[in-house]
Structure 1
Amino acid sequence: MCGRFALFSHPEALAFDLEAEGGFDFPPPRFNIAPGSPILALRSAPDGRRSFANLHWGLIPSWAKDRRFGYRTINARAETLAEKPSFRDAFMKRRCLIPADGFYEWETTDSGKQPYFIRRAEAGLLAFAGLWGRWTDRETGEVVESATIVVTRANDLVGRIHDRMPVILDPDDFGIWLDPRSAPGPTLKGLLRPMASESLDMHPVDPRVGRSTHDDPGLIQPIEGR
């Protein structure tokens, strides 16, 4: 799964790397993004224009009774996107990219759980495959746009500590994933694979990241002696 990640790249770099329209009010750098909070996402219109949006992390399908549904849908398994009612419609028509500078996973040890920060081996932005939806509160009329991160089996590197990881898309595949006209057939499903181990770096970090109230650059720094 992917339950925490960080995004601290400069807004201009984000817009350039993702070939998106400017003029968006970007959130401040964040080093411990947790489920239920707003996350930055990139969507594409049928004419190809890409724009950013802040979405609630935890996909709320249009038919959900209340927004608490989103706590069960922070991640979507790549293998069952086309079958699960919670994700099927979004996979067909509402795909997005969720930018990150890295994500966290936890290793279970004899002394407890040790978090690791995982990022590109040579630094740089990651783009998670995501799905988004729009839900209307039947009592208040409030419209909530939300998203989930697609996860797949772990590569050999991440597999040392966890059996799942986010689907990280290659820039050459952004266009087809984002295009709402792309049919959810073999081509799209073929993108839902783990990133190569040699493209990522992983190091242990401070267990403080386990509490979402902590949010500072120290969370991503390697722990000495590990």
Structure 2
Amino acid sequence: MCGRFAQFSLPEALEAYFDVADGYDFPPPRYNIAPGSQILALRGGTHGRPNFVSLHWGLIPSWAKDRKFGYRTINARAETVAEKPSFRDAFKSRRCLIPADGFYEWKATPDGKQPYFIRLKDQSPMAFAGLWESWTDRETGEVVLSGTIIVTQANDLVRQIHDRMPVILGPGEFPAWLDPSAKAEPRLQGLLRPIDPAQLVIHPVDRRVGKPTNEDPSLILPLAAG
């Protein structure tokens, strides 16, 4: 499960990390993104060059009756993403990367749930494996682009808090994942594994992050001892 994350890297850092410079109007930094929000993503372009796009977080398949469907599809399990009706078509040809600077998970304690922030040790951007879809509102004709984050079994570090975590891909894996013509399911499925725990760092943060309306840089700071 991944139900909250942050996107705050500067545009130039994202363009450099993903090797894409298309003049996209990047959104402001976000430190507490909740389901139903608009999220930044990178999808394969029609001419072979990836492009940035804004997605509604919560995938809405083209056949869904209404956009409420997205409330239950913020995550797709790596083990079943190729089979589930909600995700299998997107897995074949509408894959994307979702930039992130870290994600939150909660651990049950005697004093209640304690949130933790997990990010890469070198503080570079993460790239969550994701899927995107296009859905048209039958009443208004509005076209909604939406997406989901693929999650897998937690590695040894994250497992201390939660049993699932986002699939985090490395730059060498971006081309294969974003290529809409790549149909080799075993190869794609092989990318959906937990990242090496040695690449991550984790620390407790303020419980204010539990309220989606709280949105400021202090949310990612380590909780003061005592």
TM range, normalised to the smaller chain? over 0.9
Alignment partner of 1:22 is 2:22: yes
Unaligned runs of 5+ in 2: none
**Superposition deviation, residue 21 in structure 1:** 2.9
Alignment partner of 1:63 is 2:63: yes
**Superposition deviation, residue 84 in structure 1:** 0.2
Correspondence for 1:49: 49
CA gap 1:199/1:100 in 2 versus in 1, 3 angstroms: same
Please tell me the residue identity of whatever aligns with 2:64.
A
Aligned-partner Cα distance in 2 for 1:165–1:120: 13
Alignment partner of 1:149 is 2:168: no
**Superposition deviation, residue 59 in structure 1:** 0.1
Give per-residue Cα distances to partners, 1:17-72, cap 9 Å, x unaligned: 10113311100011001100000000112532111000000000000000000000
* 1:183-194 equivalent positions in 2, closer than 5 A: 183-194=183-194
Identity rate of aligned residues, in percent?
67
Aligned-partner Cα distance in 2 for 1:214–1:33: 10
Correspondence for 2:33: 33
Aligned-partner Cα distance in 2 for 1:17–1:103: 18
- RMSD (Å), alpha carbons: 0.9
**Superposition deviation, residue 158 in structure 1:** 0.2
User: Alignment partner of 2:79: what SS?
Assistant: helix
Aligned-partner Cα distance in 1 for 2:149–2:183: 19
User: Alignment partner of 1:99: what SS?
Assistant: strand
Aligned-partner Cα distance in 2 for 1:184–1:206: 43
Give per-residue Cα distances to partners, 1:149-191, cap 9 Å, x unaligned: 0000000000000000000001100000000001141110000
User: Alignment partner of 1:3: what SS?
Assistant: coil
Please tell me the residue identity of whatever aligns with 1:89.
D
Is the CA contact 1:153–1:193 (under 8 Å) kept in the aligned structure 2?
Answer: yes
Query: Number of aligned pairs?
Result: 226
Q: Which runs of 4+ in 1 moved over 4 A?
A: none
Please tell me the residue identity of whatever aligns with 1:65.
K
- TM-score under structure 2 normalisation? 0.98
Is the CA contact 1:105–1:116 (under 8 Å) kept in the aligned structure 2?
Answer: yes
Alignment partner of 1:106 is 2:106: yes
User: Alignment partner of 2:195: what SS?
Assistant: coil
Aligned-partner Cα distance in 2 for 1:151–1:104: 13
Aligned-partner Cα distance in 2 for 1:223–1:88: 40
Correspondence for 1:223: 223
Unaligned runs of 5+ in 1: none
